[in-house]
Amino acid sequence: MFRLSREVRFAINAQPDAQLSGRPSNAYGGFPSLTGLGHYFTLEVTLSGALDAASQYVRNIKDIDDAVRRLAIGRIERHIRERTFGGGAQVVVELFGILRDAWPGATLEQLKWGLSPFLHYAVRAEDFQPDRPEHSMVRLSQKFEFSASHRLHNPSLSDQANRDTFGKCNNPHGHGHNYEVQVTLAGEPDAGGVLVDVPVFERIVAEAAIDRFDHKNLNVELPEFEDVIPSVENIARAIYRLLKPRFSDSRGKLASVTVWETPKTSCEYSE
């Protein structure tokens, strides 16, 4: 199956502006452009489908940009200006309902709405309830970071086997990373479009995981890694297991944890 994703970047400025009725410009930074004080958003559309015979596209990305600008931006703008935005989760469900028929022949698999570079909502096709959209499941993800050192070493292997397996990451003195962590909660938002109180969510993640890991030698200072190699896979699982019970009574239950060890290496864990 092909899954094509396209991110549309746009601003909703403090004052109504005429940009949307003109020709798109500065597509990299977003259109409409942010002219000063306002909101900068991203909407990432993921479509699945067969390839068009002539273009070999699932869909022309310009069709995606066009439909998002035509159908979604004005809707978001109205919610902001009429103060019906609430927590925003009901808005992403509404947008999914509007956009799912925008590209006939292709299936809208996921709509991901970036409220900041770090915080986003997402609705997936399998979680959308067309007859009762208010009961659709929404995912909310926030990113966190911590710095830590570690050593990749398996005590059941010889020193040589450890060096062969882990290379420079087996340095006995350890080495460090600036880890990024994305925590995703999923559930049915309340009538006000709130899945979770974001500052409360952040505080729980900080207390339960980030503050424990930050500026630590993971091998030495954390019981989670006493007998477990602190690979990015095991760090993602450890954080998931620390957080899972903390969201068991919340509307937004823990869905997954993704950890980036470097910009090139990440692992998502879920159960």
Ligand X SMILES: Nc1nc2c(c(=O)[nH]1)N=C([C@H](O)[C@H](O)COP(=O)(O)OP(=O)(O)OP(=O)(O)O)CN2
Q: Site residues for ligand X, window 113-132 (CB under 6 A)? A: none
CB 239 within 8 A of CB 233: no
Characterize 239-255 residue by residue with b for buried, 16 or more Cβ atoms within 10 angstroms of its Cβ, and e for exposed.
Answer: bbebbeeebeebbbbbb
Residue 215 bears catalytic tag: yes
Q: Among the candidate windows 12-20, 88-96, 135-143, 226-234, which touches ligand X by CB under 6 A?
A: 226-234
Binding-site member from 66, 214, 233, 268 for ligand X (CB under 6 A): 233
Instruction: Tell me the closest approach of the beta carbon of residue 178 to Zn ion, in angstroms.
Output: 11
Residue number, 71 or 169, with CB nearest to Zn ion? 169
Residue 261 bears catalytic tag: yes
Q: How far is residue 132's CA from residue 130's CA, in Å, rounded to a whole number?
A: 6
Q: Can residue 265 be called a binding residue for ligand X (CB under 6 A)?
A: yes
Q: Which does 92 bind (CB under 5 to 8 A by kind): ligand X, Zn ion, none?
A: none
Task: Write the interaction track for ligand X spanning residues 179-218; mark x where CB under 6 A is met and - where it is not.
Answer: ----------------------------------------
According to DSSP, the residues that pair with 256 across neighbouring strands are 184
Residue 180 bears catalytic tag: no
Residue number, 70 or 175, with CB nearest to ligand X? 175
CB 137 within 8 A of CB 187: yes
Catalytic residue among 169, 188, 202, 221, which?
169
Catalytic residue among 44, 94, 109, 261, which?
261
Q: Can residue 262 be called a binding residue for ligand X (CB under 6 A)?
A: yes
Q: Can residue 228 be called a binding residue for ligand X (CB under 6 A)?
A: no
Q: What is the DSSP string of the chain?
A: -EEEEEEEEEEEESS--SGGGS----TTT-SSPP-SSEEEEEEEEEEEEPPPTTT--SS-HHHHHHHIIIIIIHHHHHHHHTT--TTSHHHHHHHHHHHTTSSTTSEEEEEEEESSSS-EEEEEGGG--SSSGGG--EEEEEEEEEEEEE----TTS-HHHHHHHHGGGG-TT-EEEEEEEEEEEEE---TTS-SS-HHHHHHHHIIIIIHHHTTEEHHHH-GGGSSS---HHHHHHHHHHHHGGGGTTSSSEEEEEEEEEETTEEEEE--
Q: Can residue 169 be called a binding residue for ligand X (CB under 6 A)?
A: yes
Binding-site member from 170, 219, 231, 258 for ligand X (CB under 6 A): 231
Residue number, 78 or 175, with CB nearest to Zn ion? 175
Binding-site member from 9, 137, 261, 269 for ligand X (CB under 6 A): 261
Q: Site residues for ligand X, window 47-66 (CB under 6 A)? A: none
Q: Which does 195 bind (CB under 5 to 8 A by kind): ligand X, Zn ion, none?
A: none
Q: Which does 265 bind (CB under 5 to 8 A by kind): Zn ion, ligand X, none?
A: ligand X
Give the residue numbers annotated as catalytic, written as ranges. Answer: 169, 215, 261
**Chain residues in the site for ligand X (CB under 6 A):** 152, 169, 175, 231-233, 261-262, 264-265
